[in-house]
Amino acid sequence: MSDSTKKLAESQTRHRIQPPPEGSVADLIADLVEDLEPVHRPGRLGLPVTAWLCFAAVYSMAALAATEPFRNGSLRSLSAYPEFAAETAVAALAVGVLALAAFLSAVPGAAKPWRTVSWSTLAVGAWLGFYVAGLAGYPAHPVSELGHRQHCFLESQLIALPNAALLLWLTARLMPLRPVLTGALAGCAGAAAPAALMQLACMYSPDHILIYHATPVAITGLSGALVAPLLLRRRNLMPPRRTQTLH
Amino acid sequence: MNRADALHGTDEQRWSQLMAAAHRGDKRQYEQLLRELAVAIERYITRRFGALAFVDDCVQECLLAIHAARHTYDPRRHFRPWVFTIVHNKTIDLLRRSHYRSQSGEDWLRLSFADGAVGADPADELAAGEVLMQIDPSYRDALTLTKIDGYSLAEAAARAGVTESAMKSRVARGIRAAAALLDKGRDRE
C-alpha cells in the first residue's frame, strides 16, 4: 500500500470513528441532502466577470455618447501618443482588476482581503499615477480643453450606479462574507468604467481628470461600502434553526 | 511535513472529492461530507471557544451556509480555506448576535465534552477555548456575561462594576479580538 493510500485510509478511519452528528444536526443534514441539486460550473468566475466587463463597457460608452459626442480625434490620439494608449490600457486593466477583486471578495477563502485590496490599490494607483506624472509636467496627451463637458462629474457618478448595482447583484449571488469590502470594490469598479472612458469623451487635463473623473470612483466606492452590508445580507437570512423548514 | 499536516492533506483531498461529487448531485457523498464537516466544525469551535451550547447552533449555521455557498466552491481550489472562512465568519456572527442562556434556559451547558471533562462554571468551560483564553480577561468576562450567560448589557455592567457603555465597548472589543485570533488560526487550518 502506498503512503498516500495509507494516509487516505487513515483519514477515512479517523472520520468513521467520530460519533455521528445527532439530533437536530443530523436532521438538518438530512434536510440539506434532500435539498441538494447539481451545480453547473461551480466556482467559475470567468463568465460573470467577462459579462460584467462587457456590460460596463457597452453601457458606459452608450450612455456617454448619448449625452454628448466623444472628444474629436480621441481614437486617433491612441495611435498618435503611445503614452496615452498605455494610460488608457492601464485604466481598462484597473477596471478589470477592481471587478475581479469584487468577485473574489465574495467567494469564501478565494483571496485574502489584504491581497484584493493591495492588487486593486496597485492597479488604480498605476492608473492615477499617469495623471500625477501629468501634473508634474509629463502628460500622456497634450493638455487642452477640446471636448470639455459641462457635467462630466455628474455623468460619471450617474453612469456608475447601474454598473455598481449590477456588480453588487452578481456578487450577492455568491457568498459575500465581507460586504463592506465587496461593496467598496463594486462601487469603485462601477465608477472606474465611465471614468476610464471619460478620458476619451471629455477634455484631457490631468488636474481636471483627477478632480472630475477620478473623484466619483472614490465617492461610489464609499457609497458601495455603506450600502452593501444592507443589500448583501441575503445569505445571512438563511433559517438559523432546524425548526424552520428549508422548503 | 508533520503528521497533522499530512492528515489535513488527506481531509483536503477527501472533502474536495466529496464536494465535487455533491456538485454532480450525488446525495450519498454529500451526506458523507456534511457528516464529516459537522464533526470537524464542532472540533474547530470547541478548541477555540470551549464546549458550550454555542457549538451546536454554530455547527448548524455553518452547515446551512456551506449548503447555500456550495456553488462558490471551485474544485480546482483548496477546500479547507473555503470551508473554514465560512465557519470563522459564522462563528463571529453568532457571537455578535447571541444571548444563549436567555434562549435555552439552563441547558446552555453541554453534557458531553470532547475531552470528557464536565465543569459547572461557565468560566471554566470558556477557559477550554484557546481563543477566549488569549483574550484580555476584562473582554473575556464581558463576553461570558453577555454572550454565554445571557445577561443584558446593563445587568452585565452592574455585575462587573462598570458603566453600561464601558461594558458595550468591552463586548465589541472582545469580539474583534476573537475575530482577529480566529483569522490568525485560520491561516494554519
A137-159 pLDDT, tens digit per residue, is 899 888 888 888 889 999 999 99
Q: Contacts of residue A37 in chain B, CB cutoff 8 Å?
A: 25
First-last CA distance in chain A? 46
Please give the grid coordinates belonging to residue A232. Answer: 448583501
A54 in contact with chain B, both atoms CB, cutoff 8 A: no
- Rounded Cα gap, residues A232 and B35, in angstroms: 29
Point out which residues pair with B109 in neighbouring strands.
Answer: B52
pLDDT one-digit tens code per residue, B75-112: 999 999 999 999 988 888 888 776 544 444 444 344 33
Between B127 and B15, residue with greater pLDDT:
B15
Please give the grid coordinates belonging to residue A47. Answer: 463568465
- The model's pTM is 0.77
Query: B158 to chain A nearest CA, in Å?
Result: 31
User: Complex ipTM, two decimals?
Assistant: 0.76
Q: What is the pLDDT of residue A204?
A: 92
Q: Is B46 helix (H, G, I), strand (E, B) or coil?
A: helix
Nearest CB partner across the interface for A36, out of B13, B22, B61:
B22
- Rounded Cα gap, residues A194 and B54, in angstroms: 48
Interface touch B35/A239, C-beta < 8 Å: no
Point out which residues pair with A204 in neighbouring strands.
Answer: A144
Point out which residues pair with B52 in neighbouring strands.
Answer: B109
- Rounded Cα gap, residues B76 and B79, in angstroms: 9
A242 in contact with chain B, both atoms CB, cutoff 8 A: yes
A240 in contact with chain B, both atoms CB, cutoff 8 A: yes
Residue of B nearest to A107 (CA): B72
Residue of A nearest to B184 (CA): A112
Residues 88-127 of A with CB under 8 A from B: 106-110
Q: Contacts of residue A109 in chain B, CB cutoff 8 Å?
A: 77-78, 80-86
DSSP-derived letter for residue A109 is T
Instruction: Give Cα A123 distance to the centre of its chain.
Output: 12
Rounded alpha-carbon distances, angstroms, from residue A34 to A174, A234, B27, B28, B69: 21, 22, 8, 10, 16
pLDDT at A107 over 70: yes
